[in-house]
Structure 1
Amino acid sequence: MASLYMTSALIYQNAITHNNFRFPSFICRSMTKMTPDNVSVDVLRRRSGNYQPSPWDHSYLLSINNKYAKEEKVIARDLLKEKVRKMLGAETKSRLEQLELIDDLQKLGISYHFEVEINNILMDFHHKNGRGVWKCDKEEDLHATSLEFRLLRQHGFHVSEDIFEVIIDKIESETFKSDDINSIISLYEASYLSTKSDIKLREVIRPFAKKQIRKFVDGETCNLEVREKAIHALEMPYHWRMRRLETRWYLDSYDNKHDTNLVLIEFAKLDFNIVQIAHQEDLKYVSSWWKETCLVNQLPFVRDRIVENFFWTVGLIYEPQFGNIRRIMSIVNALVTTIDDIYDIYGTLEELELFTAMVHNWDVNRLDELPEYMRLCFLILFNEINSIGCDIFKYKNIDVIPFLRKSWADLCNTYLVEAKWYKKGYKPGVEEYMQNAWISISAPTILIHFYCIFSDKISVQILETLSQHRQEIVRCSATILRLANDLGTSRDELARGDVLKSAQCYTHETGASEEEAHAHVQQMICDTWDEINYETKMARTYSLLSRGFVEAAVNLARMSQCMYQYGDGHGCPDKAKTVERVMSLLVNPVPLKSSSPSGG
């Protein structure tokens, strides 16, 4: 998958600054009474999310570093980078060798150094193959053809599924004989780049490849390297995986290969550690910002999840030069989480209506109209969004604050709809639920902020389509985020008291069992990925959206499947592997060997 174009680099190095002003502590007198013992007691019965405290201590976060990312390592990395660049340009390499090198660069997380070279190579392949009309006539060519198909589609080139016509005929006639599991895994991975029109990819190739891989996994006891690769593919296809986490896994996997390219693996390890340092500095910044807001002290019922909120941004855009984007998007994520908890578990309907109106009015002079516990949250929201908008105006000469404000108003509207459904015991159908839920999951809010911060030139036309929820790539990304969230969190949320989620809406509407409902939601996710793949292809030639923005929208969908893969990775990070994953990406460096192939 293409990384983000370097032309959309950091728009302002340190434009957004946050002072050290601490907001005063508010006591919510409107909702408390004083007992004779002078102890504050909540008059209203409030729900609780029963969220555990953050597993991360702020002092610990400030102490983390990467002992390997020193200046001499940066120099060594840059020397190795030029060696790899020469590998990409080597005319002696075969088509398959070039494809495998590009695939390795992507999976090792270093393709962002060679975006122009990779794009030129793939464009050349596409033109040589007559705009994607070549055929895979031999089973022994299956790996190369599948890999080329996947890489070209990832980068938005049009390639027809008809290139697999001969293979499909053999599968349907049961005359496919190859037992090369690596070729079958490549075919399986390629099938996940399907669009709605690719019926054979979805209905013939994918089930066949999945069955063959499972058979291999069940019977293989010798080749542990390939067996691990097969299990990894079955667990989740590469196209759906969070890129940075996949890089960490692939570094270990590639290191154990029998044909490891020593220059490539050393370059990737050095680069991982150097990038990790950038991520660590970003994390320290957002952790300090979060602590300064005092929101956790003022609102003890909200999720204290600043590390997890930052983790989302690493999935969204990991390249080191986009640190300021990660910092701002972490702040946006933290505000989303806080406001979501106010609506979901704490606020009364009357209070939530007041807060929704306040966000619509965007008038800090009316702060007294809010219950006291809401005032700090709104004030921080007001200040942060205005600050973001102010800096964008300074550097890009466009006022985006009205669009950003509207995104928060729309988000709060959808939160309020769900609060009313819960209060009334209303059970929506799947379609009605999703019309509201794809916005309430916050992806449109997140992505319009990302667009404004990321884009070198902001288009009012695009801003309007984003603000009016008319961008299909955003809807698709939001849909996957919503459905993945529902599957990972619904049991906990229903237990504490919440509106029905997609699977429960489907069960209520159709009478399906829980297992059938979950299978239906999983199929909805698969179908939406087909739409995302189509939008990615359209973005290359027909869309006004930059490839970088489209990539970020796709990455948000990937990140959702990472965060909720084993449960509620955002709300309960210690139980859903989030802590383990954060440690592997943001805390623990990749060990380096004493010798390096950069010398000599």
Structure 2
Amino acid sequence: MHQNEAGANTKWWRELDIHRKVPYTRDCAVQAYFWSLSIIPEPKYSIQRRILGKLIICIAILDDTYDNYGTIQELELFTQAIRRWDIGLIKSLPECMKVVFNVVVKLFDEIEFEIAKNGNSNLMLQYVKEAFFSFVEGYMVEARWCHENYVPTYDEYKINGIETSTCPLEMTVLIALGEFATKDMFDWIFNYPKVIKAVSLIARLWDDLGSHKFEQQSREHVASAVECCMKQYDVSQEDAYKLIQNEIKGYWKDINEACLINSDAIPKHVLDLILGLARATEFTYSNLKDDAVGSFEDKFSHGQLTKDYVVALLLDPIVS
């Protein structure tokens, strides 16, 4: 089943022909599916896995659009078009940005179809869109910071980083497609309880630790958590690494507490999704073979780092 799902998502990616139409973006279909599989592997969640895998691909395309391609004026217009869900606003934008917009719209058509097939209210789609709008606006905030050469404080960066972590969006999509899609559940997510903040900041901070050196060296890029931490606390890069890793340990304690105590009486499945998100992020951006300070890697952007794990999980049989 998992092999078939990975193959179907890869075929979907190739048929979109994004690598030719949007040449600045990453080829990450396998890594995206691997991410979704690590969060929700049970057989009955096949649709959630496939949709989440496609969503993560779209997130990567948007990330590259905001980071690597669009001018600030183009990105402002693009963000406004997403907020209004109006393709008419992007007529003046480059063709590749129109392609990105259309891929997003088509994915949301698929999400809407699956929500309706499950018998859930169309209101669930509005929650998904609202989470998506908040996520994209987080990217826009970073684009403005980069354009203005502004380095936010570490605390300011983390507030916006909850959105750009993509965790609230991923959780909203998974819930909307499942059996716990209720107004109360979405209200809980959108109020950002401690456990949602924890998983979001684990994701944001590990992502920055894994990718900030490459991003800062290869292109103009918004300051990462590392630079913001160095600025706020006037510390070296090595000390910033240590501080951020200690904070990540604290956020893990928040997740453990939520899973053990669960004072909000959240379904175990929902807490398992949060736990899976945190695990997926730590696997993707930490170097599991080397605990040395500053030894991090980005297995999402560099697929060769994930290859052996994909082969072990999806191709090589387990021999008893």
Q: TM-score normalized by structure 1?
A: 0.50
Letter in 2 for 1:532: I
Letter in 2 for 1:473: V
Residue in structure 1 matching 2:139, options 415, 420, 423: 415
Residue in structure 1 matching 2:94, options 356, 360, 371: 371
Alpha-carbon separation, structure 2, partners of 1:385 and 1:524: 35
Instruction: Answer 1 or 2: which has greater helix percent.
Output: 2
- Contact 1:386 1:401 survives alignment (8 Å): no
- Residue matched to 2:209: 487
Alpha-carbon separation, structure 1, partners of 2:191 and 2:108: 20
Q: What SS does the corresponding residue of 2:12 show, helix, strand or coil?
A: helix
Alpha-carbon separation, structure 1, partners of 2:167 and 2:278: 9
- Residue matched to 2:150: 426
Residue in structure 2 matching 1:387, options 110, 113, 133: 110
Q: What SS does the corresponding residue of 2:214 show, helix, strand or coil?
A: helix
Residue correspondences, number: 309
Any idea what the Cα deviations from partners look like across 1:386-427, whole Å, max 9, x if unmatched? 321233134223112211111111111110111111111111
- Residue matched to 1:471: 193
Task: Give runs of aligned pairs for residues 336-351 of structure 1, distance below 5 A.
Answer: 336-351=59-74
- Contact 1:396 1:457 survives alignment (8 Å): no
- Contact 2:207 2:298 survives alignment (8 Å): yes
- Contact 2:114 2:177 survives alignment (8 Å): no
- Contact 1:286 1:331 survives alignment (8 Å): yes
Alpha-carbon separation, structure 1, partners of 2:245 and 2:113: 41
- Residue matched to 1:564: 285
Alpha-carbon separation, structure 2, partners of 1:433 and 1:486: 11
- Residue matched to 1:405: 129
- Residue matched to 1:545: 266
Alpha-carbon separation, structure 1, partners of 2:183 and 2:92: 33
- Contact 1:283 1:310 survives alignment (8 Å): yes
Alpha-carbon separation, structure 2, partners of 1:472 and 1:532: 8
Change (3 A) 1:573 1:562: same
Any idea what the Cα deviations from partners look like across 1:105-132, whole Å, max 9, x if unmatched? xxxxxxxxxxxxxxxxxxxxxxxxxxxx
- Contact 1:447 1:474 survives alignment (8 Å): no
Alpha-carbon separation, structure 2, partners of 1:452 and 1:386: 14
Any idea what the Cα deviations from partners look like across 1:243-264, whole Å, max 9, x if unmatched? xxxxxxxxxxxxxxxxxxxxxx
Residue in structure 1 matching 2:226, options 489, 498, 503: 503
- Alignment of 1:330 with 2:53, yes or no, is yes
Task: Give runs of aligned pairs for residues 55-454 of structure 1, distance below 5 A.
Answer: 278-399=1-122, 400-454=124-178
Letter in 2 for 1:553: I
Letter in 2 for 1:329: L
- Residue matched to 1:521: 244
Structure showing greater Rg: 1
Alpha-carbon separation, structure 2, partners of 1:501 and 1:483: 9
- Residue matched to 2:293: none
- Residue matched to 1:555: 276
Bigger relative contact order, structure 1 or 2, given CA contacts below 8 A and separation 6+? 1
Alpha-carbon separation, structure 2, partners of 1:284 and 1:484: 28
- Contact 1:316 1:552 survives alignment (8 Å): yes
Q: Which runs of 5+ in 2 are unaligned?
A: 288-296
Percent of matched pairs sharing the same residue: 26
Q: Which runs of 5+ in 1 are unaligned?
A: 1-277, 593-600
Alpha-carbon separation, structure 1, partners of 2:80 and 2:113: 23
- Alignment of 1:579 with 2:307, yes or no, is yes
Alpha-carbon separation, structure 1, partners of 2:116 and 2:187: 17
Alpha-carbon separation, structure 2, partners of 1:469 and 1:362: 24
Pairwise CA distance, 1:369: 4.8
Aligned-residue Cα RMSD (Å) equals 1.5
- Contact 1:354 1:369 survives alignment (8 Å): no
Alpha-carbon separation, structure 2, partners of 1:285 and 1:591: 26
Letter in 2 for 1:412: V
Alpha-carbon separation, structure 1, partners of 2:121 and 2:108: 14
Letter in 2 for 1:285: A
Change (3 A) 1:457 1:513: closer
Letter in 2 for 1:464: D
- Contact 2:120 2:181 survives alignment (8 Å): no
Pairwise CA distance, 1:303: 0.6
Change (3 A) 1:384 1:429: same
Any idea what the Cα deviations from partners look like across 1:529-587, whole Å, max 9, x if unmatched? 11111111233xx425321111111111111110112201111132xx31111111112
- Contact 1:364 1:382 survives alignment (8 Å): no
Pairwise CA distance, 1:297: 1.3
Q: TM-score normalized by structure 2?
A: 0.92
